[in-house]
Homo-oligomer: A and B are copies of this chain.
Amino acid sequence: MRVTVSGGVHGNELLGIYLVKTVQNEPLKFENIDVDFLLANPKAIKECRRYIDFDLNRSFGKESLEKDSHIYEYERAKVIKERLKETDFLIDLHTTTANMGITIVLSQDDPLSNSVAKILALEYDDVRILRWFGNSEGDFINSITPSSITIEVGPVPQGVLDADLFFRTKKVLLAALRILELGEKCEESVECYDIFETVGFPRKGQELEGMIHPELAFKDYSYLHKGDPVFITFDEKEIFHEGDEGFAVFINEAAYYEKDIAFCLTKKAKI
């Protein structure tokens, strides 16, 4: 089985980039898996930007993969799709400014991806599973391989390395490789969070009118009730939660301001 570990799909998420550079130089010994490493967006990595023209992790849809384009990331996506054509399992490394600890994001629903995620969640107290299947903006890199997990860790600013998170993530990455090497399976039912809605910032036209409320800030995976304060406007008016209740994630993720996602709502489920 061929496993690809990718970092730098977003060029300013340093943890994945340096984890790939570190682990690929270590003497890993596997018999059943062939491990391959990828720095996904070299131009964005060089400039320490999320992307050059468009989010690479939304560039794997039919449209972007099949037509010639002036968008650097669309061309890079074509190259990566070819490069990963033998890959059976992708482990994609990301960071977030949200306080999400170590989250295994599942964006496809298949037995192998599910099994790896579940074993990791059972093995580590600080690991949670989040499922995010729908995405209108364009397909994730995960869509080009049969199975995958994304390891999403935070809080850490863009362009910054956090040593504690780095070594915790390294342990989880090596555990994922061990699970694949040994072909470990998990029959147990394990808790996960399913994203069912994204919530935008308060705006007047295009213009931002407020921020995440201090009482919601850094409270990823806490339950948001109707009436809880969620935003505060620049002129100090509080805005309270209406609509569906759920566990909030990706609260105040830097890269989601432009996508107008202030946070996502999830429901607990079992895999």
Q: A51 CB to closest chain B CB, in angstroms?
A: 11
Q: A89 CB to closest chain B CB, in angstroms?
A: 24
Query: In the assembled complex, which residues on chain B have CB atoms less than 8 Å from the CB atom of A156?
Result: 157
Q: A6 CB to closest chain B CB, in angstroms?
A: 18
Quick one: given A21-B234, A208-B18, A234-B18, are A213 and B158 in contact (CB under 8 Å)? no
Quick check: is A236 within 8 A (CB to CB) of the other chain? yes
Chain B: CB-nearest residue to A213 = B163
Quick check: is A252 within 8 A (CB to CB) of the other chain? yes
Main secondary structure of the interface of A (DSSP, over half): loop
Classify chain A's interface size: 20 to 34
Count of this chain's copies in the oligomeric assembly: 2
- Which A202-261 residues have C-beta < 8 A from chain B? 208, 211-214, 217, 232, 234-236, 252, 254-255, 257-258
Q: A7 CB to closest chain B CB, in angstroms?
A: 12
**Could you say which of B158, B159, B166, B214 contacts A164, with CB atoms under 8 Å apart?**
B214
Q: A54 CB to closest chain B CB, in angstroms?
A: 13
| Chain A residues close to B by CB (< 8 Å) | 18, 21-22, 48-49, 97, 155-164, 166-167, 208, 211-214, 217, 232, 234-236, 252, 254-255, 257-258
